[in-house]
Amino acid sequence: MSESVLNNQNKQQELITIKNITKEYPNTVALKDISFNIRRGEIFCIIGPNGAGKSTIVKLLTGQIKASKGEIRVHEFHTIKDRKKILGMFGLVPQEIALYNELTGRENLEFHGRLFDLSKQFMTQKIEELLTMAGLIDRQHDLVKTYSGGMKRRLQLIRALLHEPEIVILDEPTLGVDVQSRNAIHRYIRDLPSKGKTVLLTTNYMEEAERLADRLIILDTKIIDGPGRLLEIQERVFPNLIIEFKTERAMLKSDFLTIFLQKELKGKIISEKDMSEKHVLLQIIFDTIHIEEIFEKFIAYTKANDIPIEEFTLKRPNLEDVFIKLTGKEFRE
Amino acid sequence: MNSIVDERKKAVYKIKKWFRDLRTILKKDLISTKRVKKYFFSGVIPPLVMLFVFTLFLQISNPETYTVIVVDDDKSQFSEIMVDYVANISSDFAPWFTTIEIDTFDEAVALLQDFTYLGLIYIPSGFEANITSGIPDQKGMVYLIVQNINNDYVKNYMQRLDEAVLTFNEEVHVSAGSVDLFAVSLEKTYVIDQSVTNAKSITLGIIAMYGIICGLVFGALNIAKEYEDNTILEIANSPVRRTAYMASKQLIAVVLGGLVILILSILLFLLFHIEFRGDLSIVIISFVLITWIHSGIGCLIGLKFKRTMPVILVCIIVSMLLWFFTGGFAPLNILGENVELFSRFIPATYWTEILVAETLYPSFSYVIPRLAILVILSIVITLFSWYLISKEGFRS
């Protein structure tokens, strides 16, 4: 396949193009020269601490605010100049609970459907389907103010899907939600690409991004890293591997094990924790990400030398480690 | 050809969508307001309390009818016709005015000074002799001495007496065969510049104020609540027509305000026996216009403060100020020239004037120009508030 054909295909895949966006407020810069693309059918995640500019990107994308510099296009449409044309393409789940408390769950959905001019027949059918999916069918006639936080979040999510949008924007959709509701919401989000939706997810939960994102950027006013797959970013930023295992303290006395770990495997003991009188927990870091090679050599050596190994775990640096390494600061949730 | 048809279809769709949006938001707001009783009752209960207070304290001290003393010193055929004219204009279409004949001028003046009566009409001796003399300068005199020029009832009565003298000149004297058509002259004297309060005027003032309050509060609350509950995000990210959204917010204020005023008017009738004597449709149109205007201003207040409690407070303060400067609190001419001039720039002035006019002394020629001003102001203020809200109001 020629390069131009490939380029063309990539271009077709690009649904949202964000180009050199800067957003300045009188006393602060919210975003600085941001550029990235979101491809059709992917879950694209923007991760960053509070105040990183995640919600500003959402507002810019939906045309609620204008950029100081740069432009955003959805398909070929400009988000400000062609706002009317793109509004129906988005299904927005805002960070805040934005439901009418004095209406029932069903009335909230019907109101949304009417604003988007859905036919009555389609709306009725779709509402039933979505309420069932979200597990809210039994509470559909209750006022929203009687719902729990998790139920409200789920209702917001299905409301955003009611008018069959092409792009679903989720601005911190699980903020302040209990674990069960969070898991349920994650399941719906994971299913969205299979229904032809493109998802933009902003979050400051690392684990959420790790579970859901196809590609992501790390944002803190400017793009710190990405866009790319989580693994790519992790490998690029933090090309290390950590193994952790429990062994007998006596094994360390002979120094064979430590010499093997340090000389043969090029590892470095970063922690040595007493677990009991006899046992110790070791943590070794390696300047490589090639798990198989390390693992094979380590197992072969311990077997050959009868070194008892318990609770062996292999760890990659998580997104939080990556963030700390990139920015030099703790992640502020 | 096809493109013209398509354009026409698009235009029709846009118009239909506009009305659908309007209906959708209006319906949603009506349901919400019905369920948030505290907002509705905060609009209804205060006027009821005020009415109750005024009923207790004012109805006792203020008469429901006003009596004017007539002293006929001439006791001639023509002076008796004049007295009949005065009696008729006092009661025709205005049953709250009556006349009483007193024999002597001195006795009448004493009663007037006791504030027992609204005014005194004095026909001195020589009345008939003067008007039948045929000498142009020799006129029959009618003297009106009134308590207070500032009271709406007094103003109304003076207009009526002017009419009585004019009618007398046109009808009676012509039939008497004189060449001078205007032989009777009316001289008005305002002896006591004392402020006369009465329950009817004050109650009308309350209605006037609630026309303002309802527009401001309901308009502002509906917008502020959208911001407080973040539901403005739902609106901002939907293809709803901005003008339809604004119109629905103003319409809901008119509907709810109308309900409050209806309750007040019923109470007004039951407690104070005041009914609209003029054209009820004019009162309704002017009410709709004034609530519409103030709901536009209310929407701007809601946009500025974005929280319900500050919005209620600001709206009440603004309403009180407007009420003061528009003659609802006290007649404008006693508040000074500057206030009177300033009031001409406030829409509620015209609303108060129409309301008072249609209740006390209906006059089509007086009301229509004021109604026209309200129409113009409602267009200007609506366009202004819609422009501002469309520009700034949908940013979350």
Interface of B with A in 181-200 (CB under 8 A): none
B125 and B215 together in one domain: no
CA B8 to chain centre: 44
Helix (H, G, I), strand (E, B) or coil at A21: strand
Q: What is the pTM of this model?
A: 0.72
Q: What is the CATH number of the domain that holds B84?
A: 3.40.1710.10
B214 and B332 together in one domain: yes
Contact B229 A116 (CB under 8 A): no
Domain end position, chosen among B138, B172, B190: B190
What is the number of other CB atoms lying within 10 angstroms of the CB of residue B207? 25
Q: Which amino acid is present at B384?
A: F
The reported pLDDT for the residue numbered B9 is 85
Question: Does B234 contact A at CB distance below 8 Å?
Answer: yes
Contact B395 A65 (CB under 8 A): yes
A268 and A223 together in one domain: no
Helix (H, G, I), strand (E, B) or coil at A317: coil
Average pLDDT, chain A: 86
A165 and A88 together in one domain: yes
Instruction: Give the residues across from B389 on adjacent strands.
Output: none
Q: Residue A65 phi/psi, 5° resolution?
A: -130, 160
Mutate to test the interface with B, among A58, A61, A99, A102 (most CBs of B within 10 A): A102
Round to the nearest angstrom and report the end-to-end CA distance of chain B. 43
Expressed as residue numbers, the domain containing A303 is: 239-316
Residue pLDDT tens, chain B, 396 long: 567 778 888 889 889 999 999 999 999 998 988 887 766 666 667 666 766 666 565 544 444 567 888 999 998 888 888 888 887 775 555 556 778 888 888 888 777 766 567 788 888 888 888 877 777 677 788 888 876 555 566 667 777 777 777 777 777 655 555 544 456 677 766 544 333 345 555 666 677 777 788 888 888 988 898 989 889 888 888 988 888 998 999 999 888 888 888 877 777 777 666 666 667 788 888 889 999 999 999 988 998 898 888 998 898 888 888 877 877 666 666 677 788 888 888 888 888 888 777 765 556 777 889 999 999 999 998 898 888 877 765 654
Expressed as residue numbers, the domain containing B37 is: 2-58+198-392
- Tell me the nearest-neighbour CA distance from A119 into chain B, angstroms: 12
The structure tokens 């429901």 sit at: B64
- Cα dihedral across residues A78, A79, A80, A85: positive or negative: positive
Model confidence over A31-86: pLDDT tens digits?
999 999 999 999 999 988 888 899 999 999 988 888 999 999 998 899 888 888 88
Cβ atoms of A31 and A56 closer than 8 Å: yes
Instruction: Give the residues across from B69 on adjacent strands.
Output: B100, B120
Tokens of B224: 């502020």
Residue A3 in any domain: the answer is: no
Contact A65 B237 (CB under 8 A): no
Interface of A with B in 86-115 (CB under 8 A): 87-88, 90, 92, 94, 96-103, 107, 111-112, 114-115
Mutate to test the interface with A, among B23, B26, B222, B234 (most CBs of A within 10 A): B234
Model confidence over A81-139: pLDDT tens digits?
888 888 889 999 998 899 999 999 999 999 999 999 999 999 999 999 999 988 899 99
Q: Which amino acid is present at B377?
A: L
Number of domains in chain A: 2
A193 and A97 together in one domain: yes
Number of domains in chain B: 2
Of A304-308, A325-329, B165-169, the range with the lowest mean pLDDT is A325-329
